[in-house]
Amino acid sequence: MVIAMEPLSALDESFLHLETEFSQMHIGSVAIFEGPPPGYDELCAMVDSKLAQVPRYRQKVRFVPLAVGRPRWVDDPHFNLSYHLRHTALPSPGSEEQLRNLVGRVMAQHLDRARPLWEMWIAEGLEEGRWALVSKVHHCMVDGIAGSDLLTVILDRERDAAPPAGDEWLPRPEPNRVELLARGLAELANPMEVVHTVESAVRAPRQFAERLMAAGQGLVSMRGLVRRTPPFSINGPLGPHRRWAWARTRLSDVKTAREALGGSVNDVVLAVVTNGFRALLESRGEQVDDRVIRTLVPVSVRAPSARGTPDNRVSAMFAELPIGIADPEERLSSIHAQMQNLKESKGALAGEALTSLSGFAPPMLLALGERVAAHVGQRNVNTVTTNVPGPQFPLYAAGRRLLEAFPYVPLAGNVRIGVAIFSYDGGLNFGVTGDYDTAPDLDVLCDGIEDGLEQLLELARDSASSPSAAPRPEPAPR
């Protein structure tokens, strides 16, 4: 049960402060279903029946006066499902391009901070009798893994699933400014992060020391991040609008390439993304030989016992995509070696350690620091590449099967293009977000992603048909 006036974690709060006039910090997805589309009331009933399992969807954020304490989750006494679940239709002929344009417009709008921070849009009229459900949830509520888990909660596993028992939800009284201020002052006097850290050290000193040492190793490995990335057109100031595009692949094809050529599923994914960026920059007339693109790769630190919790439990590694390598097999090998080194260097653990240290900062300083980072800190990264595994079984909404799903990743700082990857029921799909004014050619990147996987599949087929081919190394575990 969610505690009344539960504070946001330091990481959750940071996503609120990273949001600016031109950076909307919500993640999202586009789910395409078989037709015919359900009625609005039918879909409302489905979502309403699941809200008891996702309490955050009926809560809003309240900031503590003078920023003397963490923002708090509180029940929204005026919660209205019809405000969050919206209905629209694509103009005829309802092409996939029209759907992608709609997603770009919807995602460019900030969520209303006076209400629970999520929206769902039912989009009817997609060609071939299909319809789509476009969802956006603020990053302060969920990370990618939590968002994937929530998808399995909101949707059904069976076509004719019985609706769960409804709940008699009664919002708890909303705190006033004096109560919020009092709770914030009490928090300053006894900061929970410090208490938890000390408790961890006392209960398990050996494990705590080992974790601290591993984090130190990771920090040493991250020292290269102080170097600014080389200039590319994919970096620069952002405008207020967004473009969004997608690429389709199959998880089985990615695994075929991995088994034949070595590496992991994630290595193959990064290799095809690298090919996409290489194609994009070459089409723009930019030099790619002997160059790399540095990408932030979010890494889940969510324990199995924490699956289903609506919050952020994520760290990051920083990889360099070798766009200067033209040969696809050599490119994959380079990425595999690099990712192995990053894992051994404890880079993700270092990122988690840095994030947890923000819990020691007073909320006012944390807010100021995050805003500064949003303006200047991301000049050391060119893009973001996030890969979230989704359910490998069919899901349904109001009896309609989910055919495929595509992810949406927000843009911030100096990053004009971001790539998200999501797997569902055998598909492995890429959602590419771009700044509207400076990235009109996202289709080139998406075509490059699909071509990159086809290149690796051709090599895999050649390897399988060649009797004299040297044995491949055993692929690393995913």
Positions annotated as catalytic residues are 139
| E strand residue ranges, 222-265 | 242-250
Cα dihedral 200, 225, 433, 459 sign: negative
Alpha-carbon span 125 to 95, nearest angstrom: 9
- The order of strands in the sheet holding 427-435 is 242-250, 427-435, 417-424, 383-389, 293-300, 314-321
Other beta carbons less than 10 A from residue 455's beta carbon: 19
Residue 303 buriedness (CB in 10 A; 0-12 / 13-18 / 19+): exposed
**Closest by CA position to 36, among listed 89, 84, 86, 83:** 89
DSSP tally for the chain: helices H, then strands E? 14, 15
Cα-to-chain-centroid distance, residue 113: 20
* Structural contact between residues 313 and 300, judged by C-beta atoms closer than 8 angstroms: yes
CB 342 within 8 A of CB 221: yes
Q: How far apart are the first and last CA of the chain?
A: 34
The conformational region for residue 426 under phi > 0 = left, psi -120 to 50 = alpha, else beta, is: left
- Angstrom distances, CA of residue 336 to CA of 49, 137, 422: 45, 33, 20
The single residue listed with the structure tokens 């007073």 is 362
HEC sequence for 309-364: CCCCCEEEEEEEECCCCCCHHHHHHHHHHHHHHHHHCCHHHHHHHHHHHHHHCCHH
The radius of gyration of the chain's CA atoms, rounded to the nearest angstrom, is 23
Q: What's at 295, amino acid-wise?
A: T
Q: Which residues contact 357 (CB under 8 A, 6 or more apart)?
A: none
Strand-pair partners of 424? 427
What are the structure tokens assigned to 101, written together?
Answer: 């344009």
DSSP state of 155: S
For residue 317, the cross-strand partners are: 297
Ramachandran angles phi, psi of 420, nearest 5°: -120, 145
Residue in this structure with the two tokens 């208490």, named with its chain if needed = 195
Q: Which residue in 80, 144, 111 sits closest to 16, CA to CA?
A: 111
